[in-house]
Amino acid sequence: MSKLEYTQVQNQIFEQSHKPFQVETRELHYDLEAGEALVKILLPTICGSEIHSIKGRCQEDTPSILGYGAVGDIVVVNSREGFKVGDRVTYTIADTYGQCPPCTELGYKKSEKVFLNIVMLPFIKAVG
């Protein structure tokens, strides 16, 4: 396991249609297991159907974290799986992060760990 120095992370929270997202800063500590990496997000992505929620055309349970994937650079790696620091990867969390109560009980849109500016990824979800 590797205790990481990244502790301050940011997330954008959707609270109401026609309103700006709220940016939250929080402290998180990551212990990487074998086969995991820490990825600094460069570009998050959202689904076109979520734009309907933002514009108020569809109801979204709020507060919610919108999106399904992102593009980022690996900043810390704990693996021998061919990935290295600096590799650009893309990933999806549509099958859930799956390690916290919001993910397992409520779904990934309620998880505080999915769309941060820095995320932990198992390599099975990263594509270089």
Output the 3-class SS for 100-111: CHHHHHHCHHHC
21, pLDDT greater than 50 = yes
DSSP for 47-88, please give it.
-HHHHHHHTTSS---SSB---SEEEEEEEEEE--SS--TT-E
pLDDT in tens, 55-107: 877 776 776 766 667 888 988 887 666 788 899 988 776 544 555 555 555 55
User: Residue 110 and residue 104: Cα distance in Å, rounded?
Assistant: 10
For residue 52, the domain's CATH number is: 3.90.180.10
The domain containing residue 77 runs over which residues?
A: 2-127
- Please tell me the total count of domains within the chain: 1
Which pLDDT value is given to residue 77? 84
* CA dist 47 → 54, 55, 79, 105, 113 (Å): 11, 13, 30, 22, 18
**Highest-confidence segment of 6-20, 73-87, 102-116:** 73-87
